[in-house]
Amino acid sequence: MSDHNLVTIKLIINNQDRGKGYWKLNCSLLGEADYAKMVKNTIAETAEGETEVNPMILWEIIKCNIRGELLYMLQEGKNRQVQMGTLLNSTNVSGMI
């Protein structure tokens, strides 16, 4: 007789489509006043009056809202850069005429 017994595990894995993965805040952005202010405001606005919500669910909602606001701000910044580039290019072209 032995003190070693065979262990068998049966795993049932559902084939579910995976998403894009998880999102992680780039903490270096918090060094910029606009982004830090946005995070603070988003937390305050989301948590305001939410006394009945499970804290874990509230935290997930806050993270989702921060992500949405941050993506919006980053897209707005890209749009401004494109507009500035277009303006500079048109100024350079018209200055050459």
Tens of pLDDT, residue by residue over 13-36, are 777 676 677 777 778 878 888 888
- The dihedral region occupied by 21, where left means phi > 0, alpha psi between -120 and 50, and beta the remainder, is left
**How much is the pLDDT for 19?**
66
Count CB neighbours of 21 within 10 A.
6
Mean of the per-residue pLDDT values for the chain?
Answer: 79
